[in-house]
């Protein structure tokens, strides 16, 4: 691209929710590398006030939000003068609807990102989705709202971004897709015998073999619940039935996912294990931009391995398939019960395999209802959390 076109092009103005987490920090790095393409106009965090304030000073944003209202005074004392501060869940939604912003990237772990995501859509902002829970809990509500408002849902997860790239420009629609194949590293316990899984410690579960991520998503990767959440998310992002969404274990995490078409052809997206790749594509789409990312050196790749997941030992995939096929409020229950079970494992109240047990028992006890409104989804989420807490305690 010549310099005249660069300077004449309007920069994409981005609000980043979850700026202090791993995805948020990578997003800041991408924006720093591409200042002529991306302008950060808002940042939000849960409670890391010192990091958030430092990010605001470095980027020069004039709008920030803090979920933890108890630390609001501390944040204001650290910010430059003239920065507008939003607070609590309402504040996150207000920042997501910021006038003048083009896109909102939601990288908030858990269910707290749902409200801001819907607020961004209602305000006509394109939504870059890094929080799986948004579409797992409320896929129907979110995709219907996006269609009604004419905004784009852009996947940031490496697997969904890979599928998005493979499908980008494909004109045949879902009928020409045979399968979506999500790749999984298999986690740190991929080769462990079944009996040893009961001995897994928190420290072991937090050692992912290929990715540097936050605590919740790292544990989800160890149980394969992360991949289960991605299966349900893919169903909504790409309009493909759950029966056509598959998972393959790929320990090297170089092939980030694949699309198999009805003629037997397979398209795959490959890159180094660096979240800056999918973040950059989501932020600059529909353009491809030369940034500071290193390409693959195929001569250095010793091998690319693939194997079937051990579904009996890691039942998260089957639980996800059940939740996605049944639909309604069951995916929200699946997600909420997993969040409760992960917290219980982190706190030492249940063993590692009990995470699957807690989710399975909570799902089995749920009377599935429709998930056509936000209220129905929130009610199901609350019920699942209470039920899962009881299962953990029992």
Note the Cα 332 to chain centre separation in Å.
Answer: 15
pLDDT tens-place string over residues 99-111: 999 999 999 977 7
Is residue 2 predicted with pLDDT exceeding 60?
no
Q: What is the domain range of residue 220? A: 161-273+309-393
Among residues 155, 181, 212, which one ends one of the domains? 155
Examine the domain organization and report whether 374 and 262 are in the same domain. yes
Examine the domain organization and report whether 92 and 130 are in the same domain. yes
Distance CA 218, CA 45 (A): 20
pLDDT of amino acid 83: 97
Examine the domain organization and report whether 38 and 165 are in the same domain. no
Examine the domain organization and report whether 322 and 213 are in the same domain. yes
The answer as to whether 248 is a domain residue is yes
The CATH number of the domain holding residue 137 is 3.40.50.720
Examine the domain organization and report whether 127 and 173 are in the same domain. no
Per cent of the chain over pLDDT 90 is 88
Is residue 89 predicted with pLDDT exceeding 80?
yes
pLDDT of amino acid 174: 82
Among residues 133, 155, 177, which one ends one of the domains? 155
Examine the domain organization and report whether 56 and 82 are in the same domain. yes
pLDDT of amino acid 9: 62
Examine the domain organization and report whether 101 and 166 are in the same domain. no
Examine the domain organization and report whether 353 and 254 are in the same domain. yes
Among residues 128, 155, 182, which one ends one of the domains? 155
| Paired residues of 260 in beta bridges | 179, 266
**Domain total of the chain:** 2
pLDDT tens-place string over residues 334-368: 999 999 999 999 999 999 999 999 999 999 999 99
Is residue 7 predicted with pLDDT exceeding 80?
no
Examine the domain organization and report whether 235 and 382 are in the same domain. yes
Contact (Cβ atoms closer than 8 angstroms) between residue 250 and residue 185: yes
Contact (Cβ atoms closer than 8 angstroms) between residue 44 and residue 66: yes
229 φ, ψ (degrees, to nearest 5): -60, -40
The answer as to whether 231 is a domain residue is yes
Examine the domain organization and report whether 170 and 262 are in the same domain. yes
The answer as to whether 247 is a domain residue is yes
The CATH number of the domain holding residue 368 is 1.10.1740.10
pLDDT of amino acid 175: 86
Examine the domain organization and report whether 44 and 172 are in the same domain. no
Examine the domain organization and report whether 40 and 148 are in the same domain. yes
The answer as to whether 14 is a domain residue is yes
């Amino acid at each position: 691209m010549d310099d005249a076109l660069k300077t004449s092009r309007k920069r994409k103005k981005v609000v980043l929710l979850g700026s202090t987490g791993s995805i948020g920090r990578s997003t800041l790095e991408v924006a720093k590398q591409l200042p002529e393409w991306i302008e950060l106009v808002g940042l939000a965090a849960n409670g890391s006030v010192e990091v958030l304030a430092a990010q605001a000073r470095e980027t020069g944003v004039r709008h920030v939000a803090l979920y933890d209202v108890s630390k609001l005074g501390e944040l204001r004392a650290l910010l430059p003068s003239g920065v507008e501060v939003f607070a609590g869940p309402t504040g996150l939604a207000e920042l997501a609807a910021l006038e003048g912003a083009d896109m909102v990237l939601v990288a908030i772990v858990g269910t707290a990102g749902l409200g801001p995501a819907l607020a961004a859509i209602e305000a006509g902002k394109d939504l870059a989705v890094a929080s799986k829970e948004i579409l797992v809990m409320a896929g129907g509500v979110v995709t219907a709202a996006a269609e009604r408002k004419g905004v784009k849902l852009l996947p940031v997860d490496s697997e969904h971004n890979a599928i998005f790239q493979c499908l980008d420009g494909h004109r045949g629609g879902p009928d020409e897709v045979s399968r979506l194949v999500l790749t999984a590293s298999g986690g740190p316990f991929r080769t462990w015998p079944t009996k040893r899984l009961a001995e897994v410690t928190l420290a072991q579960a937090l050692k992912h073999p290929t990715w540097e991520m936050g605590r919740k998503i790292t544990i989800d990767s160890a149980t394969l619940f992360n991949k289960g959440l991605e299966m349900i998310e893919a169903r909504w992002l790409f309009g493909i039935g759950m029966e056509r969404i598959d998972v393959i274990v790929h320990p090297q995490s170089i092939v980030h996912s694949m699309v198999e078409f009805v003629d037997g052809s397979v398209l795959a997206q490959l890159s180094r294990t660096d979240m800056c790749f999918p973040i950059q594509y989501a932020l600059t789409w529909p353009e491809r931009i030369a940034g500071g990312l290193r390409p693959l050196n195929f001569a250095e790749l010793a091998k690319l391995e693939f194997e079937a997941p051990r579904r009996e030992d890691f039942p998260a995939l089957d639980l996800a398939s059940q939740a996605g096929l049944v639909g309604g409020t069951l995916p929200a229950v699946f997600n909420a019960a997993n969040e409760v079970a992960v917290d219980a494992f982190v706190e030492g109240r249940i063993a590692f395999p009990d995470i699957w047990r807690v989710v399975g028992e909570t799902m089995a006890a749920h009377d599935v209802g429709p998930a056509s409104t936000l209220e129905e989804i929130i009610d199901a989420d609350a019920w699942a959390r209470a039920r899962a807490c009881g299962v953990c305690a029992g």
